[in-house]
Homo-oligomer: A and B are copies of this chain.
Amino acid sequence: MSLAVIGTLAYDSVETAHDSRENALGGSAMYCAVAAAPYSKPRLVGVVGGDFKEEHINLLRDRGICMDGLEQVDEGKTFRWGGRYEPDWNTRHTTYTDLNVLEDFDPKLPDAYRDSRFVFLANAHPAVQLKALEQVEAAAFSVADTMNLWIDIARPDLDALMQKVDGLILNDEEARMLTGENNLIRAAQRVLELGPKVVILKKGEHGAFIMGEGLHFSLPAYPVVEVVDPTGAGDCFAGGFMGYVASVGDASPETLKRAMLHGTVAASFCVQGFSVEEIANRGREDYDERFKDLQAIVTL
């Protein structure tokens, strides 16, 4: 079934201990849509500047992503972000953030998107996320991502959003910040009291778990031996997760548990290359093969 993905597109400059990329394709919705594409044909909503390259629009369209919801502001510049990773991958330094056209991002869903049954609100200001969600007529299952910045400076908007979405996906640091609980199980329980019916908690290389009414499922990360660039891994996790859920067409506990493995697989492809260099070349067969590998590793 239909999946709408709303969020950012960006040009990222990333430096690791081994290599670097300048102005590579990035952004929360971009990563999510690329990861979801093998499962569904995601409908992208985002904004870019006049500098956004035709080849990148084509790359996303060729992947099966509907680009009708991409707004291009000719006189503006695309959102740019720069980051550097420490050799252990655990510390990331943001070197710059140029919001550019993102500053006035006012998401407008094309009419054809309004019947989307599944909605993923990739990381963006919670007020923007809520505005996008309100344009969907009857979402069966909506999930939002967020980040420490919004927890810090836009908590009332985030609180309002949490009353409206079915699920919240966040990482360990964000969960602790949002709830004040250091223990992640307790933090997840607290998130459920704030509105969402399910919470997906990502722990990077240590895996992820999902909790909700009658639902608790935990799994380790896929064992990637050679990490190239972790940028976008969380967004790709969400993409694999939501893409699979949309492809099944329901959000039952069984579907959500399997979706956790598909998200894990997507994240593992993501970190094996800079930007979408690896994951954009992986199709459903690759996903299914790695799903089986992961299933073998976590199954008694």
Contact = CB atoms under 8 A, between A and B. Distances in A.
Contact of A207 (B88, B185, B206, B257): B206
User: Which of the four size classes fits the interface of chain A?
Assistant: 20 to 34
A11 B300 CA distance: 37
B217 A297 contact: yes
A65 B101 CA distance: 70
Interface stretch (A67-75, A147-155, A219-227): A219-227
A225 B187 CA distance: 10
A213 to B, nearest CB: 15
Given A88-B182, A258-B300, A220 B219 contact: yes
The number of times this chain is found in the oligomer is 2
A203 interface: yes
Contact of A218 (B186, B227, B298): B298
Contacts of A254: 300
Contact of A297 (B87, B216, B297, B299): B216
Contacts of A219: 220, 298
Nearest to A222: B218
A183 interface: yes
Nearest to A260: B300
A295 B300 contact: yes
Interface in A181-222: 182-183, 185-186, 203, 206-207, 209, 216-220
Contacts of A209: 220, 223, 297
A203 B225 CA distance: 17
